[in-house]
Amino acid sequence: MDAIKLFDSELKIMEILWRKGCISAKQISMIAAKDNGWNKNTTYTVIKKLIDKNAIGRAEPGFICSPLISRDTVQKGETERLIDKLWDGSKKAFFAAFVDEHLSDDEINELKSLIEKR
């Protein structure tokens, strides 16, 4: 099964659900208004798109929303798309781009340990 492609606005709603768990659309709307400055209509439009993508479920009564996909699943899918797009699908090239310039010695040692455990 291909990973679901989520846009930034959809990720903001998913972050709320991953953080809070099952909550009502009204509660999501209130959080999105506070965190993102969104109005109710914007939030409900994004929720509808996520329902259509099977990223969240809706239960009644109360328009209760629940995440149907995990943060981990989304992160893996987004990472694969990024590697495909910018490094021609090469995980080695992706990894090498960060090792030389963006990682501290401690981070490099942690990654070595992860690879050795594999």
CA–chain centroid gap for 9, Å, is: 10
Nearest to 26 by CA among 50, 44, 10, 13: 44
What phi and psi, each to the nearest 5 degrees, are found at residue 58? -125, 130
pLDDT of res. 108: 82
- Rounded CA-CA distance 97/44 in Å is 39
pLDDT of res. 2: 62
**Interior angle at CA 45, CA 10 and CA 62, nearest 5:** 100
Write down the domain spans for the chain. 8-67, 71-117
For 106, the token pair is 């401690």
Region 8-67: CATH code: 1.10.10.10
Are the C-beta atoms of residues 54 and 39 closer than 8 Å to each other? no
- Rounded CA-CA distance 65/84 in Å is 32
Nearest to 16 by CA among 6, 31, 30: 31
pLDDT of res. 1: 47
* Tens-digit pLDDT string for the chain (118 aa): 467 889 999 999 999 999 999 999 999 999 999 999 999 999 999 999 999 999 999 999 999 999 999 999 999 999 999 999 999 999 989 888 877 777 788 988 888 898 898 8
